[in-house]
Structure 1
Amino acid sequence: MKGMALCIGASLLLAGCGGGESEETVIIPPNEIIGAVEAGEYDRIYDGLSADFRKEFSRSDFSKAVKGFSEDVKAWHDVSELKLNNSHYKTWKNEDTSKGISVILTENGEIIGFKMMPLQTYPESDQAFTKLTYSLPLTEDWFVFWGGENVMANYHYEYESQRYAYDLIQVKDGFSYNGDPTKNESYYAFGKDITAPHAGKVVHVVSDIPDNEPVGTMNDKQPAGNVVIIDHGDGEFSYLAHLKKDSVTVKVGDLVEKGDLVGLSGNSGNSSEAHLHFQVSDGDDLFASKSLRVKWENDLHPVQGDTLSQP
């Protein structure tokens, strides 16, 4: 799972990760930030940046960059919002979804990330849902960390092989963990039941990859980590990835029904903390297949920031 670090890559990114102190930050209410962009109040936004952030560029350079990116946009519209672990992430898009802006704020309201990006859309595949209908592959309440049909709410979206994937975590009182954040056992999503989203045949299993610890270290050589892949027929395969080591309860060739336990959520593979990566694809090779937009039971449309519950 890709997290929202203070320094993140982008096509046009203004983000500060320096140190030291400077003049006091003037807090802007999050819902007023995009209005300040529309009104050309670039100085106000600059004053809302953290002291460390402001050291990375001048007021003039900041104003010039934001104006150049946004001056032809008539209005910005809300896309997604995420409040988690004392951070606040909020995104907007323009009328034709060709441009986007995202900000990251501290719990005190200081802006520590300001990202402006061109947006690519894929309307044809956005409307091509799976033939089968899938249930949530879980038994408790889970939170959508990444999910949706744009790259701001779902970083997977730019990659055809994972375009409609979801990264799901568990959250309590605004946090995904309680206790030592370097320990897997501190995360609410670690070791929870993961179930088959539809009947099918298990075609691939990995269960021997260690969970990443300390949390934050990642295994990019085995990106899916421990995983179960199920062939549901009609050319549709579900992937349940980053499972806990030695927790998989099925083997290749097993027939499963919807709701059958297949393993426990974990933090294996290219994962920054315990979570479930779920997607449906048109083949059983994660990187050679195309991700399909999931048709969910009960007409669910999960997006970043949603809490999902079994009915």
Structure 2
Amino acid sequence: MSQLQVSASPHIHNGSSTPTIMRDVVIALVPAIIASGIIFGPRALLLIAVTVAACVISEYLSRKILKRSNSIRDLTAVITGILLALNLPVSLPLWMAALGGVIAIVIVKQFFGGIGQNFVNPAIAARIILLMSFASQMSDWVVPFEYSQRIDVTTTATYLSGAESSLPSLIDMFLGVRSGSLGETCGLALLLGGAYLIFRKVISPLIPTVFIGTVALLSFLLGGNPLYHVLAGGLLLGAIFMATDYTTSPVTRNGKIIFAVGCGVITVAIRFFAALPEGVSYAILLMNILVPLIENLTIPKTFGREVKQREN
């Protein structure tokens, strides 16, 4: 009789690996990258190239210094660089963008052990550090399609204030004809990327749907226009590409729902009641920190556990 071999799960591998998954994420981000180049000009593509180069070089050198195996081929540093750039204004000095890449990789990622060990999203943490360190430069927006013309906007609060007379039309916001960070303006490009990730089963639609739905519902209840609040700021970029990060989001179904609702509640609270210009990055960062607690609370009960019999 042949022996029954028992091994740890997973027992059947679907062929996916970190590089193939990250490659799909890069493909999903291509529409947003192209849209940023069209809307904000060649400097948008240069800024993306700088942050990606800073992240890749930082990962290579830091792992070399720490005597760890080379991990740049898994493409996670490339993803971090792209996401960081898409959260920056096109006018940001290149050295600041490069500094953000170093912070994301060296401090947030490698200091905690590398891929799978960081407890917050590196791109989000780097963006917040840059925002707190260089508030003026991080809030210097450029008029779309006017690559050399600047406008006097100090925060993105204009789009989130509820004063619809000062807002662009919904179709302009959907197509990206507004000022903002590189990757947050064109809702169409972000939704195309999200649809690709869902089709490829790279992400579950649960977190983006619940996150966006929570923001829309609470915005409506508080008297705001839910469509503006969905398209404004970095909600679509954050919900689709950053809140779904494998390392910093829950793995349980109920955990994903709690995580997404928490992100939505914090986002709306900041937008309506705080002095901050936008709440998506802060919401995701705060919920990243709570992920271990959420998973402990939502871990499924063991099925088929033997019940201890009473002694007579």
Same fold (TM over 0.5): no
Higher strand share: 1
Q: Under a length normalisation based on structure 2, what TM-score does the superposition of the two structures give?
A: 0.26
Q: Under a length normalisation based on structure 1, what TM-score does the superposition of the two structures give?
A: 0.26
